[in-house]
Amino acid sequence: MAQAHLQIDLSALQNNWRALDAHSATGVETAATVKANGYGLGAGHVAHALAHAGARRFFVAVAEEGLAVRAAIGPDLPIHVYSGHMDGDARILRDAKLIPMLNSVEQLTRHVEALPGHPFGIQLDSGMNRLGMEPAEWASVAQIVLGQRPVLLMSHLACSDEPDHSMNAQQLAQFHEMTEGTGLPRSLSATGGVLLGPEYHFEMTRPGIGLYGGAPFTSAQAVVRLSIPVIQTREVLAGESVGYGNSFIAPRDMQLATIAAGYADGIHRALSDKVTLWAGDVPCPLVGRVSMDLLTIDVSDAPEPPDWLDLLGPHQGVDDIAGLLDTIGYEILTGLGPRYARRYL
């Protein structure tokens, strides 16, 4: 089999949830964000494992994502939808018992007309200008809305991965101003906000990336290991070229392994000539271009020809790869393709 293995350590995931939960006081609920198919790792498996660890509430981005989560966690635990109530969502919200986080008066109207009495929350814009009701909009409907008992008021921080950024305190103050005295449960923080400290926790936090082992939760346990099988090894002589465009010319005689993954699997072509894989503890640099389904790796330093090489594992995490590409671990994780055999530990 030439299928690469994406190993997902569910007990590390559970430990990360427990560790983030321990950052806030006992009375603060730690929910879990499992959008984008559980950050690419399989929403059903991830939600099921987190529910076993103690998570009692889940968040997805769009209503359709709620189905797999609902199937995995059973009928009772609440699932919230960040994008709120979009046109055509009523049936899925009702059947899967999802709670839309309403983002505008338009969504509010749609929701009460389509699903009167169905639970909802409200998303407020405290300064990020992405989703949620703005202060003036909220002020104009707050009294009526509060009479309908939303289950949660939430907002989202734009700069929580930079603890010293003045935007954090600014949004905190704005969120207080918009929600003080409502007596309703409130949530402001994702992973970054959990780490900012208790004044950011309110009644509920909703981390995502930290659960999956990514920054800014730097003490997280690694959750993913990506191991790619060797299809073929060959010797190349000094001066021979390797791969598309002849972009690599062997500077000396070398031992090369051709392995079964490429840019179609989320291994960005921009990693050509840049990244190192690992044969156990031995670093083995990628040479030449990343192809759609294949990589060529210099395994000259491996004591014996390896059968597998790790791109992600104990020596290298998603944030290390992200650093090479000037992006963030979230993008690497959610970009891991569908062709891997996902194996759950």
Interface contacts to ligand PLP, rule CB under 6 A:
33, 35, 82, 156, 190-192, 206-210
CB 159, min distance to ligand PLP, A: 11
Of the pair 127, 207, the CB lying nearest ligand PLP is at 207
CB 5, min distance to ligand PLP, A: 25
In contact, 82 and 108? CB cutoff 8 Å: no
CB 216, min distance to ligand PLP, A: 8
CB 190, min distance to ligand PLP, A: 3
Backbone angles phi, psi at 208, to 5 degrees: -125, -80
Residues whose CB falls within 8 Å of the CB of residue 131, separated by 6 or more in sequence, listed in order = 82, 83, 84, 103, 123, 125, 156
Of the pair 185, 229, the CB lying nearest ligand PLP is at 185
CB 265, min distance to ligand PLP, A: 22
- 296 Cα distance to chain centroid: 29
Of the pair 107, 272, the CB lying nearest ligand PLP is at 107
- 81 Cα distance to chain centroid: 15
Of the pair 133, 259, the CB lying nearest ligand PLP is at 133
- Residues serving a catalytic function are 35, 244
Of the pair 156, 225, the CB lying nearest ligand PLP is at 156
Both tokens assigned to 22? 């321990």
| C-alpha to C-alpha distance for 292 and 112, rounded to whole angstroms | 48
Residues whose CB falls within 8 Å of the CB of residue 49, separated by 6 or more in sequence, listed in order = 10, 13, 14
Residue in 166, 162, 156, 152 with CA at minimum distance from that of residue 128: 156
- The residue whose Cβ lies closest to ligand PLP is 208
CB atoms within 10 A of CB 131: 17
